Amino acid sequence: MMQWLAVFACLPLSWGLTYLIEQGSLRGQLLDLPGERSSHQLPTPTAGGLGILISFLGFLVWFVATSDQVDKINIMLVGVGVIAGFIGYLDDRHNLKVSWRFLAHLLLALGVVVILDPLPELLLFGWKWELGLGLSLLYMMALTWFVNLYNFMDGIDGLAASEAITVILGAMLIIGISGDQSWLMPLAALALSVAGFLIFNWPPARLFMGDVGSIFLGFTLGILVIITSAEGIISIWSWCILLALFVGDATVTLLIRLVSGERIYQAHNSHAYQILARRWSSHRHVTLLAILINIAWLWPLAWCASEYPYIASEVAFFAYFPLLLIACYVRVKQ
């Protein structure tokens, strides 16, 4: 009972911390100034993701301290969360070079893969990719890419926070239906921590999460994907489906920019969600559409991938295909 009270305490704690961060950002001039590639018009306080980070990591520290035995996974989540948040905060304050930031993400991802070994096997269209160096490298690169794409997709009000909440809730439903209670509390604590921030970030946003929030969420969600799938709690394909909206848009945009000869490391506003936000003159409509797609399309398919693991990769293809087509269409027709 006390553990669940600690979980629910993440919401008011995150809200209070985020309020203090907003006020401090305004006074300290830690503002996100609109530029040529921005999706907002007014200077807006940033680094609100610190509220998410502190409330969730505070829960994990309390969880570890009150447990009967030391859990290295939770300790690793705390350590990686602190480092990832620090890297993001430095980027918010000093605009780190892309090369240095990418190297930091890559090294942190390498550390995660080493600690979490053995990693979950992959069953791809009937072919099993078993454990080995190749699979470890794949997970390291995938985690690095996911962290960066989550940062790329944090470009309009409410989108990144809503994505985190709906993805986590979808995973919790699948885990709950299976009857397994493992990791439900940490997942719920993370979702409630993000919800406390979303109150300030819902369109029109009073506060942005900044790189400190998006980098922290990218690493934390990525680690939870690997852990829960490695322990057989939920299929990694179910996670891939739940994250399809962000993964699909970011991947299509990257490939189109590569083919077009554009600098992929340069800031831009050519993601499908950014184009739609300009076309519709509304961040709220795009964010609500993303929530609807996650719940109505991706949740049921993610459950199918978990319930029928022998066709999970085929279900994932079915989930991604229309989203990739839409992202291509929106991007090409901008």
Name the 3-class secondary structure at 262: coil
pLDDT score of 68 more than 90: no
CA distance 50 to 47: 6
Q: Tell me the pairing of strands 44-45 and 122-124.
A: unpaired
Which token pair is 52?
Answer: 């998410």
pLDDT at 212: 96
pLDDT at 332: 80
pLDDT tens digits for 4-17? 999 999 999 999 99
User: What's the number of domains the chain is made of?
Assistant: 1
Q: What are the two backbone dihedrals, phi and then psi, of residue 308, each rounded to the nearest 5 degrees?
A: -125, 75
CA distance 273 to 156: 8
For residue 29, name the pLDDT band (cuts at 50, 70, 90). Answer: low
Packed helices 299-307 and 159-178: angle between N→C axes, nearest 10 degrees: 30
CA distance 318 to 187: 26
Packed helices 72-94 and 210-230: angle between N→C axes, nearest 10 degrees: 160
pLDDT at 125: 64
pLDDT tens digits for 120-133? 877 766 667 666 78
* Bond before 322 cis per omega within 30 degrees: no
pLDDT at 126: 63
CA distance 150 to 171: 18
The answer to whether the pTM exceeds 0.75 is: yes
pLDDT tens digits for 150-169? 999 999 999 999 999 999 99
CA distance 198 to 203: 9
DSSP code, position 183 = T
Asked if 298 and 173 count as a contact pair (C-beta separation under 8 A), the reply is no
Burial 107-135 (b: 16+ CB within 10 A, else e): ebbbebbeebeebbebbeeeeeeeeeeeb
The per-residue DSSP string of 32-50 comes to E---TT-S-SS-EE--THH
Asked if 210 and 88 count as a contact pair (C-beta separation under 8 A), the reply is yes
pLDDT tens digits for 92-104? 988 889 999 999 9
Whole-number average pLDDT of the chain: 91
pLDDT higher at 286 or 232: 286
Residue ranges making up the domain that contains 277: 2-332
pLDDT tens digits for 264-312? 777 788 899 999 999 999 999 999 999 999 999 999 999 999 999 889 9
% the chain with pLDDT above 70: 94
pLDDT tens digits for 38-64? 677 778 889 999 999 999 999 999 998
% the chain with pLDDT above 90: 71
pLDDT higher at 256 or 196: 196
